[in-house]
Amino acid sequence: MGRLVGWIAGGLVVFLVLITAAAAGVVSSVFGGGGADGGGCLGAVTTPGAAPAGLSGEQAHNAGVIVAVGERMRVPVRGWVIAVATALQESDLINTGGGPDDSLGLFQQRPSQGWGTPEQIMNPDYAAGKFYEHLLAVSGWQSMPLTEAAQRVQRSAYPDAYAKHEARATEIVSAYTGGTLPTCDGAAIAASGWTRPVAGTVGSGFRTPDRPHHNGVDLIAARGTVIHAASGGVVVKVRCNIAGNSWDAPFSPSMPCDRDGYPGLGGCGWYVEIRHAAVIVSRYCHMVRQPIVHVGQTVTAGQPIGNVGTSGNSSGPHLHYEIHEGYPATEANAINPVPFMRQKGVPL
Ligand SMILES: [Zn+2]
């Protein structure tokens, strides 16, 4: 293919109708209907007696119950993270009574809202099971931001409170699963909360002698390959960039980035930037069509954001991937993504 030329960058529960076959498969297995079992979304508890850092024995015991029930019910691992984050917010993983109303237990479920008897709800195994049962009934929960999925189940007065526990919950769950979490397409999310943006081989590297202004790494993958958010964050840029011109939303029906580019054209093509914690920005260039996320959207690690293409300054389908230390992303704050990702436990 020749060398790739990348862009040089400066309590009530709503039972919803299940739409996706994947969700239907998971639920049917939970309720004994057989069928699909969630495939690679499913995880295994390899260390049931884990003692995640920072948790007391009681908290670790309760976290262990939550992941064990998730495994037994064949809930995709993303659901375990949502459950642990919810329990961190609702009860700090302490099985407790005495909430603001008649809320009880790890998830502060309410007998008056049909969650069960007080005795049942104070049983962590039962409480976790009810949480998962309701989560699995939410259509599309696996692709929702954690807060939204948790809120659909909990109907909390403070929905945004769940999000702040996502990284911690990911770390806790991974202590029970051998250090990594599987995602639905077989990618793994490291305990750091980072994952590979595409399954591809490394092509042109960061600021090589013959390309000193190549501020990212090229990951070679077939046209159409799904690109994933490398970590959780907020989308800060969705743009078409060709030959020195840039377009932000709203986009016209046919943008110049909808066509294949070529070396020398210039530009990142269709691209996305995500701002992460600790002021890291990741950038994803040359997508085949308009990205499927929008500015301001919260995304989770591994969430699909677009598809591999060769728009802009590019000689063939690949993902040009950049990491920046600082916001906004500039040429000056670009760093080599390969050691950065390796340090996050994610070899590219
Ligand atoms: Zn490149």
Domains of the chain plus CATH, in order, are: 21-186 (no CATH), 201-343 (2.70.70.10)
- Find the 143 Cα to ligand 1 centroid distance in Å: 28
- Find the 88 Cα to ligand 1 centroid distance in Å: 41
Please report which confidence band the pLDDT of residue 225 belongs to, taking 50, 70 and 90 as the band edges: confident
- Find the 268 Cα to ligand 1 centroid distance in Å: 9
Which of the residue ranges 35-39, 49-53, 155-159 would you say has the lowest mean pLDDT? 35-39
**pLDDT, average across residues 98-120:** 90
Give me the DSSP letters along 66-84.
HHHHHHHTT--HHHHHHHH
- Find the 10 Cα to ligand 1 centroid distance in Å: 12
- Find the 146 Cα to ligand 1 centroid distance in Å: 32
- Find the 167 Cα to ligand 1 centroid distance in Å: 29
* Residues above pLDDT 70, as percent of the chain: 86
Look up residue 35 and give its DSSP letter: S
Give residue 217's pLDDT.
96
Give residue 29's pLDDT.
30
- Listed in order, strand segments (DSSP E) in 278-333 are 280-287, 298-299, 304-307, 318-325
Q: Note the helical H segments in the chain.
A: 21-30, 57-72, 77-91, 118-121, 124-136, 146-154, 166-176, 337-343
Tell which wins on pLDDT, 35 or 294.
Answer: 294
- Find the 90 Cα to ligand 1 centroid distance in Å: 44
- Find the 7 Cα to ligand 1 centroid distance in Å: 5
Residue written as tokens 């049942």?
Answer: 120
**pLDDT, average across residues 93-107:** 88
Question: 201 pLDDT exceeds 90?
Answer: no
**pLDDT, average across residues 95-120:** 90
Q: What is the rounded CA–CA span in Å between residue 24 and residue 304?
A: 20
Tell me how far apart the terminal alpha carbons of the chain are, to the nearest angstrom.
20
- Find the 205 Cα to ligand 1 centroid distance in Å: 8
Question: Whose CA is closest to 185, among 35, 290, 307?
Answer: 307
- Find the 217 Cα to ligand 1 centroid distance in Å: 5
Give residue 164's pLDDT.
83
- Find the 254 Cα to ligand 1 centroid distance in Å: 24
